[in-house]
Amino acid sequence: MRVVEGTPQEIVEYERLAAGSVSQTASAVDAAPSPDEATETEADDEAPTLSGSAPLAPADHVALMQFIYGRAGKNDERTVLTERFVMRLLQEEDVVVAFGRSSKTFDGLADYLMIRDDGPQRYGAVAYLRPGNGGMTVRLSPDDLERLGQKDNPRVQYRNVVPSDPYKINCPLADEEAFDLALDLVRAALNVVRSE
């Protein structure tokens, strides 16, 4: 298990340097703006990520829980759903969960987690998750939702963003049904980036 944090571009650069030529061929990250572009900053050192390819080490689990509960809002249910959501993704999917970075916070971390495919990085995060409110922004389009049969789901919110922004869908972790839907949406986003 490796722990790295940073922007998608920083993480790709780290992986390229760490893995040598293995990830050099797949290190092109698209230039689409992330939902948190204003809070992303330069990397100081290697930044921790949590990979689902192995069980979480105790220190990694503590770091993740400190991040989630340290940035939790006043809604305890959403905080618990956020914790369960991240842990379930790490257990069931080949994903990497990375801490966002910010120069405006005491610890250098932003208020979101990035969920990425654990394979070759052609794209940034497939989803951004904010522990403060349980908000999740997913790299899916309205057409993707229609294919999933979720176009008219009341738990889905469409973002009013420029056409080139691939993060067009929000799905707040408000209750158990939203939790299940969010898992399905992240899995669909993973399938999209893995097939491109």
What is the full DSSP assignment across 93-144?
Answer: S-EEEEEEE-TTSTTSEEEEEEEEESS--SSS-SEEEETTTTEEEES--HHH
Q: Is residue 179 over pLDDT 80?
A: yes
Q: Work out the pLDDT band at 166, boundaries 50, 70, 90.
A: very high
Distance CA(166)–CA(42), nearest Å, equals: 22
pTM recorded for the entire structure: 0.72
pLDDT of residue 127: 96
Q: Give the residue from 155, 151, 130 showing the smallest Cα distance to 140.
A: 151
71-80, 96-105, 149-158: least confidently modelled range: 71-80
Distance CA(70)–CA(73), nearest Å, equals: 9
pLDDT of residue 16: 56
pLDDT of residue 141: 94
Structure tokens at 194: 């893995």
pLDDT of residue 4: 60
With contact defined as beta carbons under 8 Å apart, do 169 and 138 qualify? Answer: yes
Q: Work out the pLDDT band at 87, boundaries 50, 70, 90.
A: very high
pLDDT of residue 27: 33
Q: Can you tell me the mean pLDDT for 55-81? A: 86
Rounded to the nearest integer, the mean pLDDT of the chain is: 80
With contact defined as beta carbons under 8 Å apart, do 22 and 115 qualify? Answer: no
Q: Is residue 78 over pLDDT 80?
A: yes
Q: Work out the pLDDT band at 10, boundaries 50, 70, 90.
A: low
With contact defined as beta carbons under 8 Å apart, do 36 and 112 qualify? Answer: yes
Q: Work out the pLDDT band at 32, boundaries 50, 70, 90.
A: very low
With contact defined as beta carbons under 8 Å apart, do 171 and 136 qualify? Answer: yes
